[in-house]
Structure 1
């Protein structure tokens, strides 16, 4: 499971939108140091996953469709890359290249499957509200 820069930036986009009624793409980009083309690409995927809502027109922009208390890192990562696998053979559409004769793949495949399941469990354990709240607390302590 490769957590890409796009996945990282998607979390930043959500961080920028949290607690805001609506933000323009320029505001999001400025706050999170993301280029506009990249932000648009991410926002489109987050919209498709029903995590953000887009508004058209002069007063357009974006807002969260879900509360950060309902969103996990796994939700964000899967919105950006629905086929996130730690190795290609984890994808049910692909065969294990080492031993196609075994029904469930080779022994290594089985172990990696267990690891991937645990990683997904860990990414879905805490909401972004919990994660971002801890980040804000650390900033206050450092800034005091």
Structure 2
């Protein structure tokens, strides 16, 4: 009978620990990574040598971001080459939709069977004539 009398007292610390762990787990999901802004690119075969840009997702953009400046470059050769890009207004979703890059954009298109290195450069911008708030690269090799 004494054990039954102390059961609520024993359960209280266990309940508190469970709630604390759940709160910590929820907080970790929304805490930005140490490097800050991140980008992912949904690149597929349809985007190769195409004027249709892939969907790009931006997460943890800095406060004050009004739009993104996006460029595709080829690097690792004698001369970097610019393959176009565009801008996209920050609408709160972090998604730059497929086909949104229209400023002279042409997707990665290496000649023949040669593999070349490319990068999408995404800059979080506050205004037209300001320095970027953050810049991230998505590097990949295309054959």
Task: Give the TM bin, normalised by the shorter chain.
Answer: under 0.3
Larger Cα Rg: Structure 1 or Structure 2? 2
Larger fraction in strand: 2
TM-score (norm 2): 0.20
TM-score (norm 1): 0.20
